Structure formats: structure tokens, C-alpha cells
Structure 1
């Protein structure tokens, strides 16, 4: 799959993309059963086949090197929860500030995009701090990078935004100006199917 920061206007996969993505997701699902014990791929695939728009969002997660995988199942809503499981923050989503307001506020050296805009265009949600901590219980992610997380409105109103990483065996939550961006900071997303 190609790596690009641009998303396609067409939100439909070709038959070849559809089949390739399902093969990739199935192989990852089978390789990392620790992330979704007691779940069966056939049930996940049936949900994906019934939701082509969600499959397109997963394709975007994969295209930007997020390596999405199933990390849970919500019995109340009958939804599988996918999350970016790349070892480091997805390469195709780095060097972005937090949101559109922060991007517009930058006078010089603007990044190409923001985490919130990219997530919305992809049809996914930024992880909350709680979701990020839950993901880290499955295995250690972001040992060299960091990821923006959904920031509470009261912090965002003051110009800040939150990001997390994993160092010294611990999840750390930090703050930065929402308009900041770094080559080693991207964002992780989640998608319910």
C-alpha cells in the first residue's frame, strides 16, 4: 500500500484494494491474537463486508501506516473496535498540529494538516487518554514517538493539547501548544465496526 498524507475523495475501494486489505487485516488478526482473545475473524470479516464505508476508513488507517487491528468488542453495541497498532505513531500521520484552529493560528512554518482534520477525513476518532492507556496494556507502543490524544475542551480553550508516549515502562501524558508539531509525533485512531 502506498504512503501519502493525502486522502482520496473517492470513499470506495476497488475490488483489488478490498481483497488486499482483508488479507492484510486477517493476517494481522491471526498473528496478534493477544489483542483480541476469544474473537473470531469470520465474525469480524462479516461486519466489515456489511460496512464498506468502515472498510474504506480502515484502508486509510493502513495506507498511513497505522496497522489497524481489532483490540476489543463492545457487546452492548455489537461493534468490533479497531485501533492503530503500529509500534510507533503512524508515519503517514506525523508532523501535524492538533486541530484546524491551531493550524490556522500558525503564522510561519505551518504543517500540512492537523490530527483532528486528518482523523475526520479518514472517518476515525483520535484516541482518548483512557483508550491510549488501555491500548498500552496490550503491548508497548510509542517507545520512540508520541501521539496526540483527544484533549479536554477546557485545556484546548487555553491553547493546549495533550499527547502521550511510553517510556521507562510507563505511559506519560504531556501538554504542548496545540499549534506545535514534530516529526516524531502523530496520532492513533480508533474505529468501531
Structure 2
């Protein structure tokens, strides 16, 4: 159980770091040239970020390191689960879309969930980058960050991987489906 300060207990931190280390070592193609010891040191120095990574893990995201930002000195984590994270599906795009639904409202929206978790929804560029590490969302789809001009008109975009191709589609932002969730990113 987490406490209210968005901080994990010591045993929870140790368990999460162990899980992240195992995933890091099993998927070296995602982070060539990066060393786990440096990632772990950064995680241990930024324990508030562990809370967000734990939320990513608990909701089925399987976060893993996918890069290093030379400018900021931060490691970049993406949700790397094969399909859109199970604990983040059946959500509309954002709070405005959620409020616009008169009936059959989903429990939450992707943007609100991401904010509560302390993560960002993947952009189209990040989604395409993720697909270089494997085949993701072959049975599901994921909301991606929608440009303001599209959102202003009531739409939102999502993506998936079918027929060896990344597809980016549009839908009304208020729509939601059992097989559509969202993937996030976090810099540590």
C-alpha cells in the first residue's frame, strides 16, 4: 500500500527497482549503451519518480528505459507492455470529453489519469519511436497526445500497429473502447 505523500515504502522501492532491473537486462535492445547502475543511481536519487513508475507498473505498463536525454541528464522511460496497459483502458481522451458525455461515461480520461500518475501521454513521434523496439498494440490501440487544433474541433488521435504498419487514427475525444488505453513516458 502506498502512503499519501506519493512516496513508496523502502520495501516497495526495492521490489520496483528489482523489477525494473530485470526488465532492463532482458531488453537491452531498448537501451543500447546505457548502464543499469547509472539508471539505478538516478532512480534512488529521485524517489518521487519511483511513485510514478510504480503506478505505470501496477496499471500494466511495464515501464522500461528507452533513452537518455543528453541535455537534461535524464533517463527516459516508456510503457513497453505488448498491448496498451490493461489498467488504463476504456477511457476517453481528456476531462473535457468526459464531462461532455451525457450517459455511459467511462470512469476516467487518459489525460487526467496520466496527470495523476505524474507521467505524459506519448506523442506521435514517441509512439513511432517505441515501435522501433518491437511490435506494440497489435490487438489494442493507445490514445496519443493530440495537437491543440484537432482537440479544439472535438477530436483526438490514437495509434496502433497492424499489417506491419503504424496507423494513426482520429476519433471523437469522448469515445472510449475496451481495447483502447494510453501509454506514458517519464523522465528520471
Question: Normalization by structure 2: what TM-score?
Answer: 0.98
Per the alignment, residue 120 of structure 1 pairs with 115
Task: Sort the Cα spacing of 1:113 and 1:9 in 2 relative to 1 into closer, same or farther, 3 A.
Answer: farther
1:75-94 maps to which residues of 2 (within 5 A)?
75-94=70-89
Identify the match of residue 12 of structure 1 among 7, 12, 19: 7
1:32-181 maps to which residues of 2 (within 5 A)?
32-181=27-176
Distance in 1 between the 2:151 and 2:143 partners? Answer: 12
Q: Structure 1, residues 108-128: CA drift from partner, whole Å, max 9, x if none? A: 000000000000000000000
Q: Secondary structure at the match of 2:127?
A: helix
Q: Structure 1, residues 138-190: CA drift from partner, whole Å, max 9, x if none? A: 11100000000000000000000000000000000000000000000000000
Q: Secondary structure at the match of 1:137?
A: helix
Q: Secondary structure at the match of 1:186?
A: strand
Q: Secondary structure at the match of 2:53?
A: helix
Distance in 2 between the 1:8 and 1:57 partners? Answer: 13
Q: Secondary structure at the match of 2:84?
A: coil
Gaps of 5+ in 2: none
Q: Secondary structure at the match of 2:104?
A: coil
Task: Sort the Cα spacing of 1:55 and 1:31 in 2 relative to 1 into closer, same or farther, 3 A.
Answer: same
Per the alignment, residue 17 of structure 2 pairs with 22
Q: Secondary structure at the match of 2:174?
A: coil
Q: Secondary structure at the match of 1:143?
A: coil
Distance in 1 between the 2:24 and 2:77 partners? Answer: 11
Per the alignment, residue 186 of structure 2 pairs with 191
